[in-house]
Structure 1
Amino acid sequence: MEVLLTWWNDAYGFLLVFISNLKLSSKLLVSSIRCVTQLTIMAIILRPIFLEKNPVYVFLVSGVMTLSGSIEVALLKSKFTYPGIFWVCLTSLIITNFCLAILGTGCIMGVQPFYDAQHFIPTFGMLVGNSTSAVAISLSLLMKQLISEKEKIEMSLAFGATRWEAAYPYIVEAIKIGMLPTLNAMSVQGLVTIPGTDMTGQILGGVDPLDAVKYQHVIMFLIGSSTTLCSVFCCFATYYILFDKQTHRLNYHKLQKQTSFSLSTITKKSN
């Protein structure tokens, strides 16, 4: 199939953004380079893994995906951070997505063995990608609200509210906003859009639309479960780390503004 899109077309788009002074030029350039590089490397790595069918390689690739997602949330997607945020994200993404990927491929899709690379890795990748975005949104909003609403939280605590009562509205709001992209995607599937990641690819590959829809049902519910569980886990863990168990006070000294690429800060365990 002849591809009419060239690098010159991308250059025109980049030039338009630069001329418009949207202050997105550097981010667009870096994101574009990362996208092309990462997808190319992924294809080179996955090809022999699909042929080998070795579970060690499958879980190794899945682990790298999870590690990358955790670093993305803790380092690149949040304006604020706290000691232990990396471990919170990593634990959440590993437990939730591995369990759901095994459930989806082995039990629901009936793939045997469940770790078949051609099914497990794409499914796991979609779960990690969506849950990473949800966690990034939820945690960023939660930490931002805890700082901006400092006086209101302290007033609630001073009037006798428990740490849970003071933090509950902000936790709920953060989880809801983090889930919003997934809920919006689920509500317009089939009516406004045809899912491009998997269903469109299957249809273009000659798969019957009804079979493609069944697969899409499974994927969307797995993604919904993944984003929900990861967002809830990370927000609750953040709550327990930042609020003192004895005094119910919010430990603002643990919240730090993300100023530089410092892996040692985010991987430091919370006291």
Structure 2
Amino acid sequence: MDYGILSQIPNDTELQWVNVAIALSFILFDIGVSSVFRLGLSTSLFIATVRCTGQLAVVATLLQKVFETKNPWIVSLIAFVLNFLGTFETVINKSKRRFQYMFPAVLIGMLGSTIPVSIIGTRYAMSVEPFWTPIQYIPIVGMLCGATISAVVVSVSYVLKELVENRDKIEIYLAFGATRMEACRPIAVDALRLALTHPINNMSVLGIIAIPGMMTGAILGGSSVHQAAKLQMIIMFMITASTTLASIFTTFSSILVSVDREHRIRSDRIQDTSRNKAGRLIGAGAGAVKKGVQGVGGGVKWVVGSDPRGQLVKI
């Protein structure tokens, strides 16, 4: 069964860059609102728009070549790169606090959730054979990674926040003989509930209140409404499973690292990044790039930092 959306778009409705420019007026409206109300988001909106446009243009070019090659090794590499970049985004740009070994823990959690779920879902639920057919498999992995990032950030951030702000309460449990898992179980439960709230709410409103983007794209691409609805159901179930697996693994990893085998809270293993430490690190690394660009006559003035509020870091 062919669910290839890109191949189904009629030629007479092919979008041009002028169409994108028209849609850009919505961003200009947002920038105007930010300026009027002095929200301080105008520059962030501009940078995000430039990144969005550039990244999607590059990805479209690369994916077109990948779709044409139909090489399983290239598909595997793309899937790994998506998970690696998702891990980087989670650990470096999205998390206010990090625990020791967070990067490998999140990477393992994402790979261990998105890859098995995408393989099983694509092969059996979507009846795609072989499952690694690029035009179906790569977009599925991308959607799973995007949803998993949000869930992991929510769960891990909550765990580390509780370990830092309610340390005394947890240490009382430990002092009375509770193991680290017994003392942190309420925290883990609440963290997982928060992480899964978003996908559960999404499933609750689909169809009646909201028509999701994947279903809309399939319909616009020429698929029947019933096929588009079934495809969206499959994808939502896959997203929920992937976010659940990744959230469970990273939540308990953060607890096992932050509370050691002697049942002590190790504050030295928790790093606070809320003061834009990662942003300064990225800015320092970009210093060499700045000099090279200036030598050609460029003059790089700003780079995007990792401030959770979306602010810019001057270099």
Separation in structure 1 between the aligned mates of residue 136 and residue 130 of structure 2, nearest angstrom = 10
| TM-score normalised by the chain length of structure 2 | 0.79
Separation in structure 1 between the aligned mates of residue 168 and residue 40 of structure 2, nearest angstrom = 33
8 Å CA contact 2:159–2:255 kept in 1: the answer is no
Separation in structure 1 between the aligned mates of residue 85 and residue 100 of structure 2, nearest angstrom = 18
Separation in structure 2 between the aligned mates of residue 32 and residue 179 of structure 1, nearest angstrom = 29
Larger-Rg structure = 2
Aligned pairs (5 A) from 1:19-58: 19-58=36-75
8 Å CA contact 2:66–2:74 kept in 1: the answer is yes
Aligned residue number for residue 206 of structure 2: 189
Shift of 1:8: 4.3
| Structure 2: runs of 5 or more not aligned | 1-12, 283-315
Of 88, 104, 123, 1:106 maps to: 123
Residue 21 of structure 1 aligns to a residue whose secondary structure is coil
Aligned pairs (5 A) from 1:32-181: 32-181=49-198
Deviation digits for residues 224-250 of structure 1 (CA, Å, limit 9, x no counterpart) = 0001110011001111111111x2111
Shift of 1:256: 1.0
Residue 244 of structure 1 aligns to a residue whose secondary structure is coil
Residue 5 of structure 1 aligns to a residue whose secondary structure is helix
The amino acid across from 2:173 in the alignment is S
Of 233, 249, 256, 1:217 maps to: 233
Change (3 A) 1:30 1:107: same
Structure 1 window deviating more from structure 2 (39-48 vs 202-211): it is 202-211
| Structure 1: runs of 5 or more not aligned | 264-271
Shift of 1:84: 0.5
The amino acid across from 1:213 in the alignment is A
Residue 199 of structure 1 aligns to a residue whose secondary structure is helix
Change (3 A) 1:25 1:148: farther
Aligned residue number for residue 220 of structure 2: 204
User: What is the root-mean-square deviation of aligned Cα atoms in Å?
Assistant: 1.7
Separation in structure 2 between the aligned mates of residue 22 and residue 135 of structure 1, nearest angstrom = 28
Q: Does 1:235 align with 2:246?
A: no
The amino acid across from 2:264 in the alignment is R
Separation in structure 2 between the aligned mates of residue 174 and residue 24 of structure 1, nearest angstrom = 30
Q: Does 1:253 align with 2:279?
A: no
Deviation digits for residues 155-183 of structure 1 (CA, Å, limit 9, x no counterpart) = 22122222112111111111111111111
Structure 1 window deviating more from structure 2 (19-28 vs 114-123): it is 19-28
Shift of 1:34: 1.9
| TM-score normalised by the chain length of structure 1 | 0.91
Separation in structure 2 between the aligned mates of residue 27 and residue 250 of structure 1, nearest angstrom = 37
Separation in structure 1 between the aligned mates of residue 210 and residue 83 of structure 2, nearest angstrom = 28
Residue 22 of structure 2 aligns to a residue whose secondary structure is coil
